[in-house]
Structure 1
């Protein structure tokens, strides 16, 4: 009799275990089926929607377009459609100033007493481009783009002209009268252009061979005596000096270390001063020629200097050339 209760307990345990296993199997199967049929496009799983949500989704898919209702505007037919029209925002470019994107070939001629006598254009290194301009004081000075000449900013340097800013507008200053004639409405500018110097070779201010012979005394290959009068004449006629050589910045390992001088003839001004074709100029009186700012500073002090020392490299060998200004 005692065996019957124990047998019943064992059967109950087995049946309970089978029921639990069946429940978990059913739940797992439902989850797998839901994952298979409710997977999103991005590979994520979503929960099963409630009947209310399903009904709302079904109703939403059949929703009528209300555009026609809003267009007819049943509340105020005189006003008409109350649809909000999409207005494309107009993209307005920032105002272009008179100095932006200027064409030097179609600019008015600069007015005033400024006069261009020489220009050195370096297309590869624009910061090494210079222009010799005579201002109101009557003295020619070297300028770079960005500097001011008698209150007028120098914008760009070309081979035979420069672009300047006068009264907020761009203008063109040509060299030796090569610029185009000014408009008829500006006769004063035309008259000024006619008074400009004649082309090189006929300029009365050019340094003659006799002036160079009398102003330069050769003591040795690296030592010279120069008269103060010749120095002043050179500074007053910078076009002559700039025509005697081509100045090209020399780079080593991507860094400018000096300027090379080409096109020097023996009877030219620099040739008579002991400078040879192909020399690389490193310093002038200690001012490094590796930057245009330093070169301009050395040039500015030339007028007051009593002695001048050039540090050059000739055929790979460093040397110095000394000048005693008397």
Structure 2
């Protein structure tokens, strides 16, 4: 029994698909399949049922996978302790982020991070929050850039800033003449949302319950990402609700797309940084946090409770 085999069965148990599990572990599907079968033979048990529809975890398999996950978490802690004496600002950092967060914050803070810690490049992975949480616990990732709420055992979280949600709409839309949008201004049949299963979709629906209208003709007016929503709005299909940073991405000129804030107090999302309690590179985490906050327009423009200036870093923020 090896740690690699344990990592394979944990991945397969979570993905329930040999191809996706192999891709996640960066190995070929036959390699993963052979290793899993070898472990089953060694233990003398069946961990997975192979069916035409996919992979099912047996009851005993669930117990063993849970134990294997615990072993991997403890292994990550050992690695953390072993690396504690090394230069904390030297060596790559593995950062996981949501597809609805990373593309809009990474370009803001990576240039500054390179100046502040040139020996600490970022390995970045985008994935759903559940996948990121599992990889953080297992030690595959060092830190996460996600949104609240994020509650995981043995994981520390720190709120970075709150970011307002805004309405993105065609420049000639009748609501573009308003300085601020009230919830009652929204026509549910023209508001484009992300596909079901996206956490941000649920955040928007919680803020605007009237958008839960079930209109068959509106059912196809969904997008798989913020960018697809933006393109559909630009084409005149409707309006959408996005975080400020995503809405302000400079892809279309102001005569095509505009943004409008919501009447105060408008809806917001909280961006948080998360890492393992045992992670020893505290200076690296602090440097990452400082780079994100120092270069984020949302932090400086929409957060009144900010930390006092500290010695050591002076930055120029073009959004001030």
Give TM-score scaled by structure 2 length: 0.22
RCO higher in structure (CA 8 A, sep ≥6): 2
- Considering fraction of residues, name the structure with more strand: 1
Find the structure with the greater CA-based Rg: 1
- Considering fraction of residues, name the structure with more helix: 2
Give TM-score scaled by structure 1 length: 0.22
